[in-house]
Amino acid sequence: GQNIDQPTEMTATEGAIVQINCTYQTSGFNGLFWYQQHAGEAPTFLSYNVLDGLEEKGRFSSFLSRSKGYSYLLLKELQMKDSASYLCAVMDSNYQLIWGAGTKLIIKP
């Protein structure tokens, strides 16, 4: 079967750095996406990785290792507004997105 695993919840301090991991087992791979979802709102796109390595976009970076079936999202200089759920999703061989259950990130002052 297809499976995406990410931690259910993480806590971090304002101004710090946090890394959210995602491991996956899917039938085929056509890229990995990270989305942010604030409570009661729609998911919004953060990043896309299809090749191994690190993609940096401002305070957020995303890393991919296809051989290990592993990705992480790195958030730097955490702000209170970063409190949200972070969703990992893999595009499989049929170009369908398989979603993880999400990681709820709690930022403390």
- In the complex, the residues that contact other proteins under the rule CB under 8 A are 4, 30-31, 33, 41-45, 48, 50, 87, 89, 91, 95-102
CB closer to other proteins, 5 vs 74? 5
The distance of closest approach from Cβ of residue 31 to other proteins in the complex, given in angstroms and rounded to an integer, is 6
Least CB distance to other proteins at residue 62 (A): 13
In the 3-class helix/strand/coil scheme, how is the chain assigned residue by residue?
A: CCEEECCCEEEEECCCCEEEEEEEECCCCCCEEEEEECCCCCCEEEEEECCCEEEEECCEEEEEECCCCEEEEEECCCCHHHCEEEEEEEECCCCCEEECCCEEEEEEC
The residue among 41 and 77 lying less far from other proteins, judged by its C-beta, is 41
> How far from chain centre, in Å, is Cα 40?
19
Smallest distance, other proteins to C-beta of residue 78, A: 24
Q: How far is the CB of 83 from other proteins (least distance, A)?
A: 18
Q: Please identify, using beta-carbon distances, which residue of 33 and 78 lies nearer to other proteins.
A: 33
Closest CB to other proteins among residues 9, 14: 9
What sign has the CA pseudo-torsion 10, 72, 62, 95? negative
